[in-house]
């Protein structure tokens, strides 16, 4: 069956502050894209938003376009719902005129052709994290319509155990920042333009911080420490070193921040323009708002980074294994130390692999481990430069066993020498192989 738009074109005139619903009921569109455009610019491409005002201009699951708190700038003769197909799209065009009318503190309810719909406690609710709130939707439409609730355009269906639906009301227990958003109430009365209202829920919560616990750098280069903060109200962020507040210094320290797109997070950056040994140490990112505060520590260090396993191969005589790690260091490496043992043995064997020049700040370590006996082994690596030893690498586990088809000859079981037929089966337990 060909796709169709069943809704009819409308010319709508409203006052500023009203809620507008532009219908677009479609059928047979499973294999087609349905888009909304205003003045030939995309608002929605299916559920993908192309408007920066997507909290106010919303595409519903039934393809209707809802405009909350309409403004004069929303006026247009060309709101187009399109089923995109070749060679020509199927279009429905609505006209909208919004008259200037300064919004009052008490906004009127949204009217349906059969009655009114009103939300409680108000169109905007602000609540602190940890509290409970109840949202309501009341109507005098007769016969009583089915009330449907949507959260950010997704129907409330029990996906969140803290959001309890009870008839015309929603109760949210112990609210947190994930409960912020637009809660939409729709009175499904069988019409093409059912009455709808919305409540904007704003949750105030104390800051949350994301940091890299260790930042590796070197003398004479630029160092950058970052602290990603989410909070409402917005947090005041302070940087400290050795518990002393840092301030910007020309040609020395820069501090700035930027908003991360499509999120409620802000990235705060501390940049040391010319790092010296005295700049290494513990830094703290302190974020504070009216709800609370949080502090996270970051270590700026000049030692080599923690090595990561990057490969392995058998030795030429098949009697051992060559393990390969990679790491970063902004100063020349002076020493490597590999420790390995067979599991169950208390004694660790120590090898000091050859130090080779790196490429820039990238270093590769190759360590032959000869004459292995069957069994399960683990190995760790650490590296040293002028600022000290790195953290030990995560243990890398490997094993050596005789394959049965090589251990048997004729009708007798003959064990060949370990140097000839030892097969090494590499099992990465703590990290996956990666390539530079």
Q: Break the chain into its structural domains and give their ranges.
A: 4-99, 110-204, 211-301, 308-426
Please tell me the distance from the alpha carbon of residue 60 to that of residue 101, in angstroms, as a whole number.
26
Q: Which pLDDT value is given to residue 400? A: 60
Q: Which of 252, 226, 220 is nearest to 361 (CA)?
A: 220
Class of domain 211-301: mainly beta
pLDDT averaged per 10 residues, the chain (length 436):
90 87 90 91 89 88 88 93 90 91 48 67 91 91 83 74 88 92 83 80 95 95 96 94 90 90 88 94 96 96 96 80 94 96 91 92 92 88 96 88 36 32 38 36
Residue with the two structure tokens 């130390």: 337
Do the domains 211-301 and 308-426 sit in the same CATH topology, yes or no? yes
Under CATH, domain 308-426 is a member of which superfamily?
Answer: Immunoglobulins (2.60.40.10)
At 110 the pLDDT is 53
SS3 of residue 162 by DSSP: coil
Question: Would you call 170 exposed, middle or buried from its count of C-beta atoms within 10 A (0-12, 13-18, 19+)?
Answer: buried
CATH code of domain 4-99 = 2.60.40.10
CB 228 within 8 A of CB 209: yes
pLDDT of residue 374: 84
Q: What is the DSSP letter of 334?
A: -
Q: For residues 436 and 433, give the distance between their C-alpha atoms in angstroms, rounded to a whole number.
A: 10
CA of 188: how far to CAs of 61, 123, 208, 210, 352, in Å?
A: 14, 20, 39, 43, 75
Compute CA distances 85 → 25, 28, 34, 37, 45, whole Å: 17, 12, 10, 15, 13
What 3-state DSSP class applies to 45?
strand
pLDDT (0 to 100) of residue 123: 85
CATH (residue range 110-204) = 2.60.40.10
Backbone angles phi, psi at 419, to 5 degrees: -70, -15
The answer to whether 424 and 400 have CB atoms below 8 angstroms apart is yes
3-state secondary structure at position 352? coil
404: which 2 tokens? 């049965």
Residue 279, both tokens: 């700049």
């Amino acid at each position: 069956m060909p796709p169709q738009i069943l809704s009819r074109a409308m010319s709508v005139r409203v006052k500023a502050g009203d809620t507008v619903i532009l219908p677009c009921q479609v059928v047979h569109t499973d294999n087609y894209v349905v888009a909304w455009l205003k003045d030939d610019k995309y608002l929605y491409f299916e559920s993908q938003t192309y408007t920066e005002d997507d909290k106010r201009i919303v595409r519903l699951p039934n393809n209707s376009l809802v405009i909350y708190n309409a403004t004069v700038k929303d006026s247009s003769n060309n709101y187009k719902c399109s089923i995109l197909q070749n060679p020509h799209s199927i279009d429905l065009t609505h006209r909208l005129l919004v008259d200037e009318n300064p919004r009052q503190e008490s906004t009127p309810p949204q009217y349906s052709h059969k009655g009114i719909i009103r939300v409680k406690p108000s169109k905007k609710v602000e609540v602190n994290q940890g509290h409970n709130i109840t949202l309501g939707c009341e109507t005098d439409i007769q016969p009583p319509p089915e009330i449907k609730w949507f959260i950010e355009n997704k129907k409330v269906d029990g996906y969140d155990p803290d959001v309890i639906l009870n008839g015309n009301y929603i109760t949210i227990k112990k609210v947190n920042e994930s409960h912020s958003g637009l809660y939409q109430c729709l009175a499904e009365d069988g019409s093409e333009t059912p009455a709808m209202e919305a409540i904007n829920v704003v949750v105030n919560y104390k800051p949350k911080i994301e940091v890299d616990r260790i930042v590796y750098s070197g003398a004479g280069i630029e160092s950058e420490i970052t602290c990603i903060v989410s909070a409402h109200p917005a947090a005041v962020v302070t940087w400290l070193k050795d518990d002393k507040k840092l301030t910007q210094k020309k040609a020395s320290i820069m501090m700035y921040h930027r908003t991360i797109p499509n999120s409620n997070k802000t990235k705060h950056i501390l940049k040391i323009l010319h790092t010296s040994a005295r700049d290494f140490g513990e830094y703290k990112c302190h974020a504070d708002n009216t709800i609370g505060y949080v502090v996270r520590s970051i270590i700026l260090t000049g030692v080599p980074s923690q090595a990561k396993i990057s490969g392995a191969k058998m030795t030429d005589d098949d009697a051992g294994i060559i393990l390969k790690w990679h790491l970063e260091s902004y100063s020349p490496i002076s020493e490597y130390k590999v420790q390995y043992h067979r599991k169950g043995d208390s004694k660790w064997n120590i090898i000091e692999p050859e130090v080779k020049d790196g490429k820039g700040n990238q270093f590769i370590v190759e360590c032959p481990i000869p004459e292995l006996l069957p069994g399960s082994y683990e190995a760790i690596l650490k590296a040293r430069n002028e600022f000290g030893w790195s953290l030990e690498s995560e243990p890398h586990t490997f094993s050596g066993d005789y394959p049965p088809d090589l251990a048997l000859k004729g009708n007798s079981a003959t064990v060949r020498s370990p140097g000839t037929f030892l097969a090494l089966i590499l099992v990465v337990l703590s990290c996956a192989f990666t390539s530079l």
